[in-house]
Structure 1
Amino acid sequence: MPILEVENLSVTFRQYASGLKERNIRAISNLSVTLEQGEVLAVVGASGSGKSLLAHAILGILPANAETAGSIKYCGETLTAKRTQSLRGREIALVPQSVGYLDPLMRVGNQVRTAVRNGKPAEEQRKVFKRYKLKSVVEKLFPFELSGGMARRVLLSTAMVSGAKVIIADEPTPGLDPEALNEALLNLRELGDQGCAVMLITHDIDSALRIADKIAVFYAGTTVEIAPAKDFTGDGEHLRHPYSKALWGALPQNGFTPIPGSQPHSAALPPGCLFASRCEKATKECHQAQPDLRELRNGKVRCIHAT
């Protein structure tokens, strides 16, 4: 049984336009993904594809104007608001994208210590700081005194000492020098090898491929493909969805090949396949209904033409 199951998740935001006219913006639609114990799953896609929103939905920290549909299960049981609150920071931990999650009035060493579940808090905090090459003086600093890279390492340290069974790392590596980046990736991989389930949300496919078991590709708020990491190779001939192939081909080492058009805005999603307007294989049927996510070649794909 997967430790975390997200099935047909939709997230809609109520907003008010001019004249207090209400409108609903669907930022995530029919998104499905699973996370196994001992697995590192990388979630990739363009900005606005729903990656960070997925993390916030799992942790129950969406804003008040958000409405959700679908289901999220942890260890086979539905995550209710009450259960999510009891698990957050204990069994499910977040390495957030924004350093604004640090308490501005609390020294960072003490913040990390409050997350320690096993061992002596001060010893564990100093041990993880040493691992991430944060000098001893850093523990006495306030967040505003940290550089961006230092703040990200503090956030990563907090998750590492939590003893959580599921760690969701939302863009944890920007601002890190190559050595610190490599250390952070290896630590996430080590957590997976020790039985923890890791979801790595990132724009950096190259870094993700160094440690991930599977890659989930998001587009316009939904999952278009889930594939073994080994399928991201060569010309992308082992990939299933046209967008995954285009994303792979857009990397500098793969030709830096662009495709026309842009990702649709969440306020104006088309009725059919969300990628159809940019896809060379699109047919009339593609514009009529969003395809289901189906099993194909040891992976999953949301495309009626994928073979």
Structure 2
Amino acid sequence: MLEVKDLSISFIQYQKGLKKRTLKVISNLDVTINSGEILAIVGSSGSGKSLLAHAVLGVLPKNAVVSGEIIYKGMPLTPKLQKRLRGNEISLIPQSVNFLDPLMKVGAQVQASVNTGDKKEEQKSIFKRYSLDEKTGIKFPFQLSGGMARRVLFASAVIGGAKLIIADEPTPGLHPEVVKETLQHLRELADQGCAVMLITHDIGTAINVADNIAVFYSGTTVEVAPASNFSGNGEHLKHPYTKALWNALPQNSFIPISGFQPSYEERKGCFFHQRCSTRSQDCLSKMPKIREIDSGKVRCHNAT
């Protein structure tokens, strides 16, 4: 459904004295999502998760410079095609319920995403699917509970017949029952044939619903692995960062990783080499290529 190959994103900035600089924030990023699959994208803040979503949707700012390929259903995802598909075949479920218009009744907001047929009937049907009472449609967002507002966002995203769903941090701060319900809805969409990109900080949440997990670090993909590999002490994981991230969780070893993600100006070689205990000389100067290994992919010179 979606294939991202060697994606790089830079931003042109002007500093004091009108000095121009180009800041490369995403480098050689690769992901693939198939129909009927949930790909969870995890990583720390600043690792490029949301920028990838914006690149797919075609909503990057004007000072962005993009290279690489984004392919949707075998076709290059050009700006013209993005504009046609955005909100229709490609849809976003945003992180915050504040994306709902506070001055507009939620029924009308959902109807605005209907492309064909009777808008009111389509809205009633999708509300029924997500266990929303018919009277919910005449309410404003502030009159909804968190769970209801989340279901309205889902309804708005899928009512147009979307085939690729991008869910950007849909669960932080929600009650556990609402989190469970949200993940169940994502799983249902995938089981119905959609491709789902789930962006999250929470690996524990991701492994409960995702088929595969892509780990981002400092603007690139370091590993893509089946969710089942995230178990035990991480012995099935290949990249040192992925293992460290897994073992830093409270329910696992709760061992923090020392150091910090490098700034954009400091990145060279393997971006993780300054924090890696198994680095070799190649890691200091050469960016490793992503390669297939066992059931996944890894960007590491020394992974076996």
Distance 2:26 2:221 in 1: 9
Counterpart in 1 of 2:71? 73
Q: What TM-score, normalized to structure 2?
A: 0.93
Structure 1 100/269 Cα, relative in aligned 2: closer, same or farther at 3 Å? farther
5+ residue gaps, structure 2: none
Deviates more, 1:78-87 or 1:142-151: 142-151
Structure 2 counterpart of 1:20, which letter? L
- CA deviation digits over 1:188-217, x for unaligned, max 9? 111111111111111121111111110000
Cα 1:258–1:174 change in 2 (3 A) is same
2:287 corresponds in structure 1 to 290
Residue 9 of structure 1: how far off its partner (Å): 0.4
**Could you report, residue by residue, the CA deviation over 1:113-165 in whole angstroms, capped at 9, with x for unpaired residues?**
12235764334434544555655554334446656655443322211323111
- CA deviation string 1:244-292 (max 9, x = no partner): 00110011110211011011123x2421000000000112210111100
Report the CA distance shift for 1:11/1:146 in structure 2 as closer, same or farther (over 3 A): farther
Alignment partners' CA distance in 1, 2:62 and 2:143: 31
- Name which of 221, 227, 230 aligns with 1:229: 227
For 2:51 and 2:230, the matched residues in 1 are separated by 25
Deviation at 1:108, TM superposition (A): 2.1
> Is the 1:149–1:175 contact (alpha carbons within 8 Å) kept by the matching residues of 2?
no
What residue identity is the alignment partner of 2:283? C
Counterparts in 2 of 1:136-147, with a 5 A limit? Answer: 136-143=134-141
**Distance in 2 between residues matched to 1:148 and 1:48, nearest whole Å:** 27
In structure 1, C-alpha distance between the alignment counterparts of 2:28 and 2:71, rounded to whole Å = 15
Q: CA deviation at 1:25?
A: 1.4
Counterparts of 1:22 and 1:137 in 2: how far apart (Å)? 55
Aligned to 2:302: 305
Contact 2:147 2:178 in 1 (8 A): no
Note the 1:120-135 alignment, pairs <5 A. 120-129=118-127, 132=130
* 1:246 corresponds to: 244
Q: Give the CA RMSD over aligned residues.
A: 2.0
The match for 1:27 is 25
Q: Structure 1 unaligned segments of length 5 or more: list them.
A: none
Q: How does 1:86-235 map to 2 (within 5 A)?
A: 86-117=84-115, 120-129=118-127, 132=130, 136-143=134-141, 150-235=148-233
Contact 1:152 1:173 in 2 (8 A): no
